[in-house]
Amino acid sequence: MTIIEVRSAESTELTQRQRWSHYFTLFYGVIAVVIALNLRDSTLNATRSYVDIQAGIRAAYPQTWIIDTGGASIFRARDMAVAGFKTTIQIAIRPISLSTSTRNLIDILTLTRAQTLAAYRVLSQTTFFLNEVEATELEYTYVSSDDNPFLAAVPIVVRGRDILITRGGQAIIVTFLADANTYEQNLPSFQRFLADLEF
Amino acid sequence: MSYYRPRTSAPPDDEAINPYGQVWLPIAAQIGIVLMIVIAIYLVFRFLTPTLPRTAIQVGDLILALTPFGLWLWFGVRRERLAVQPRTRLLMVAIVTALAANAIAFPLIERIYQVDRWLPLAPTLNRVLGYAFTIGVTQELIKYVVIRYAVWREHFRTRADAIAYGVASAVGYATVLNLQIALTGDANLDIVAIRIFDNLALNIAASILIAFGTAEMRFERPSPFLMPLMLALGAFLTGVVIPLRTGLTNSTFSAQTAINAPSLIFGTAVSLIVLVAIAFPMALLFATADRRQREAAARAP
């Protein structure tokens, strides 16, 4: 005699609830990605405003950077959270005579820096329009070493970008400095700063 | 007239009633052993402060990183083979989750979200939300998708299967994180051991929540929003625990008090408390749901 065992086969079809549950879960994942990117951008691109009525400058610098108005520049903001060379944006204003051209200004900057900065090299020089004002962009590099001899740190290659604008009897020099390794990564912060800069 | 009561005898062992392997005991054994290793290494480094050569630290870090996976193979996979009806895809789930973590989650978190650039310095609420929506959702979604497409339904015979496969995915994901820690730095063994335990405990805790969702989806008729809710809870758990653990572990800077050394073991305590706080209520929920299902089956004609 042969015994045949009959079992009720369980349906392999997904129920409507199971299907929708899966879709909702995937949809939640997609929404979460959008929220995460938005959170990242809003935090990374958050800015504080800076106004200097005397110099006639209005700017928006990254929120987490530390502002420092001392020294040769009228404005300097640095990202102190970065290890090694602190990514810097600074603005300096220099009086110039009416006969001084941008070419003269670049020469003065190059000569001064070649004497004070180690391995200073100009990489490129281009002219463009910033907020409908003619400006000159100067890219350069140098080697920065810590002044403290007790800090046994390896010198850092710094890459910089100057934006030179001449206006009446003064030259505005907007400078961006960053470790050469993180220069491209931090450049958008400077580009946003330039886009918001009013002078 | 003689009356003979029907003679009944107890089944020879538990296997006759439950042919599937246990899940909670192997988890407890695995976590317990990893915790003992962490505490032992922490005490040795705290009180004896040994100075190890760099190669020994690297080898030690690597062994520590693979220890949870090895223990899971022993307690989870090997013991499973002894069951009458073993779970056959545990290793596959762990490996696929590990591969997905390394190929998708890690690049997404490191290169796209770039959490190290903006989250550590963000305000507390932003950090909780940030970690939940970046690291939390990524890791829980990957674990869910692997389970959903590799084993869900056909290989879910009981609710315990959801836990077993959830833990497999948690161990796979945690192993990738642990290997990243071990291979990308020369941190001392005590620091690596603590971080490895933290990764394992948090991943298992979140996976238990996901397992509850997948089990309910398989055996009950829950709301379609239950699974996304459990995923959100798992991600939120990650979002809360990471900043909390970091806050308790790192020393505080204050002008009034002296700066203390980082209290690494506090982070481990947080991870353990979170795991226990999730595992016990969920075990109760699973047991209750199982009992309800058995009673319903017994009442059915």
- Asked if A39's CB is within 8 angstroms of B112's CB, the reply is no
Q: Tell me which H or E stretch contains B231.
A: helix B226-249
* B217 → chain A, closest CA residue: A18
Nearest-angstrom CA–CA distance, B192 and B61: 6
Full DSSP string of B55-100: HHHHHHHHHHHHHHHHHHIIIIIIHHHTSSS--TTHHHHHHHHHHH
Tell me the three state secondary structure of residue A132. coil
Chain B neighbors of A47, CB-CB under 8 A: none
Residues of chain A neighbouring B126 (CB-CB closer than 8 A):
39, 43
Q: What share of chain B is helix, strand, coil (3-state, %, to 5)?
A: 75, 0, 25
SS3 B121: coil
Q: Check CB contact under 8 Å for B130 and A36.
A: yes
* Segments in chain B below pLDDT 70: 1-18, 250-262, 301
List pLDDT tens digits, range B104-121: 999 999 999 989 888 887
Tokens 């903006």 belong to residue: B118
With contacts defined as CB-CB under 8 Å, which chain B residues touch A43? 118-119, 122, 126, 130
- To test the contact with chain B by mutation, choose from A13, A21, A189 the residue with the greatest count of B C-beta atoms within 10 A, namely A21
User: How far apart are alpha carbons B105 and B108 in whole angstroms?
Assistant: 5
Q: How far apart are CA A196 and CA A193, in angstroms?
A: 5
State in Å, rounded, how far the first CA of chain B is from the last one.
35
Provide the 3-class DSSP secondary structure of residue B186: coil
What dihedral do alpha carbons B120, B123, B124, B126 form, nearest 10°?
-90
Q: A87 contacts in B (CB within 8 Å)?
A: none
β pairing state of A156-167 and A170-179: antiparallel
The residues that bridge with A127 in the sheet, in sequence order, are A136
Low-confidence stretches of chain A (pLDDT beneath 70): 1-12, 69-71, 147, 149
CA dihedral over B163, B169, B172, B176, signed as positive or negative: negative
Confidence at residue A2, expressed as pLDDT on a 0 to 100 scale: 46
* Option in B133, B141, B222 nearest A39 (CB): B133
pLDDT reported for residue A70: 66
Q: With H, G, I as helix, E, B as strand and everything else as coil, classify residue A33.
A: helix
> Nearest-CA neighbor of B209 among B131, B143, B272, B135?
B143
Look at B228 and A18 and tell me if their CB atoms are within 8 Å: no
| CA distance linking residue B133 with residue A31, whole number of Å | 9
Under 8 Å between Cβ of B115 and B131:
yes
How confident is the model at residue B23, as a pLDDT?
85
Report the alpha-carbon distance of residue A110 to residue A140 in Å, rounded: 9
- How far apart, in whole angstroms, are the C-alpha atoms of residue B189 and residue B42? 8
Interface list for chain A against chain B, based on CB atoms closer than 8 Å:
12, 14-15, 17-18, 20-22, 24-29, 32-33, 35-37, 39-40, 43-44, 64, 81
- pTM of full prediction above 0.90: no
Handedness of CA A112, A113, A119, A124 (dihedral sign): negative
Chain A: residue nearest B222 by CA?
A: A17
Binary contact (B228, A28; C-beta < 8 A): yes
Q: How far A158 CA lies from chain B's nearest CA (Å)? A: 20
Identity of residue A108: I
Q: What integer pLDDT is reported at residue B49 of this predicted model?
A: 82
Radius of gyration of chain A (CA): 28
Taken in order B73, B77, B78, B79, is the CA torsion positive or negative?
positive
Which of A15, A17, A43 is facing B118, going by the closest CB pair? A43
